[in-house]
Amino acid sequence: MSKLVPENMLEIKQKMKQLSNNGHQVSEDKMIYNAIQTLMQNYLEAAEEGHYDNSIMNPKGNQINAYDVNNHLIDAIQSTHATFIDDFKQDSFKLILRLEEFADYIARQ
């Protein structure tokens, strides 16, 4: 697990337990949604060697849009299941690879 962002279901459960022990309640889906959102932005910043573009998951959770510094849409990636949350639950490693590849693609644009 990266220091702050869970990358698989085991780490999600560990993070939820840690938060629960500290008196905070977060749903599993909300935790996964936030993890995906954060991971995608982290991968984008790593690929671009800085914060130039932004990635935002839509409210339905089935598309992540990448925007340039002028807030113009560069491109988007779709979930393979109904949502990225489902993708994460099915195979977080495969999803992470897809997000990293998308970040690399955006960085080359």
What would the pLDDT profile of 36-87 be if each residue is shown by its tens digit? 999 999 999 999 999 999 999 999 999 999 999 999 999 999 999 999 999 9
pLDDT band at 2 (very low <50, low <70, confident <90, very high): low
Q: In the chain, how many domains are there?
A: 1
Q: Mean of the per-residue pLDDT values for the chain?
A: 96
**100, part of any domain:** yes
**98, part of any domain:** yes
pLDDT band at 97 (very low <50, low <70, confident <90, very high): very high
What pLDDT is recorded for position 4? 86
Phi, psi of 37 (to 5 degrees): -60, -45
What pLDDT is recorded for position 3? 66
**2, part of any domain:** no
Structural domain boundaries, residue 78: 9-107
